[in-house]
Amino acid sequence: MPRWADGEDSSLTRFRTLQLEVRQREFYEAYQSFRQLLSPTGDEKAIISDLPGTRRDDWISSFRDSIDLDDLSVAGHSFGGGTIVCTIVNIQDDKLLRSICCMFLPQMITILSR
């Protein structure tokens, strides 16, 4: 089992900060993948289980026109809300989310204020 290095901050706050960094990357990569999948050119490399070829393309097309990629909203609760806020603050992407709804725990204030 991995352990903290000698002298390394092993507090819960440190752990949650590291967790937040990972979650921000996961959220942003999922967001970018979603945008790419629904873009007019699509993502030819994307594999969707049990949907080969034209079935895959038909499935994507079925909702591509009903989602406005320039007006996405995301809701997050607890650590998810904090993750969304931190991602928007820390990643400079002018297409990233126009509106946000979030609720987060008071413990997140400690992490967000660092």
Listing DSSP states for the chain in one string gives ---PPTTS--SHHHHHHHHHHHHHHHHHHHHHHHHHHHSTT--TT---TT--HHHHHHHHHHHHTT--TTS-EEEEETHHHHHHHHHHHHS--TTS-SEEEEE--THHHHHHT-
Q: Can you give the pLDDT of all 114 residues of the chain as single tens digits?
A: 567 777 878 788 888 888 999 998 998 888 888 888 887 776 666 777 788 778 878 888 887 878 887 777 777 778 888 888 888 888 777 676 655 555 555 555 555 555
Number of structural domains in the chain:
1
Instruction: Tell me whether residue 75 is in a domain.
Output: yes
**pLDDT at residue number 52:** 78
User: Could you list the residue range(s) of the whole structural domain that residue 87 is in?
Assistant: 12-112
pLDDT value at residue 11:
83
For residue 7, is it within any domain? no
**Do the domain assignments include residue 5?**
no
Residue 61 lies in a domain: yes
In a domain, 2, yes or no: no
Residue 22 lies in a domain: yes
Please tell me the predicted confidence (pLDDT) of residue 30: 86
Please report whether residue 4 resides in a domain: no
The predicted-structure confidence for 73-100, as pLDDT tens digits, reads as follows 777 778 888 888 888 888 777 676 655 5
pTM, full prediction: 0.67
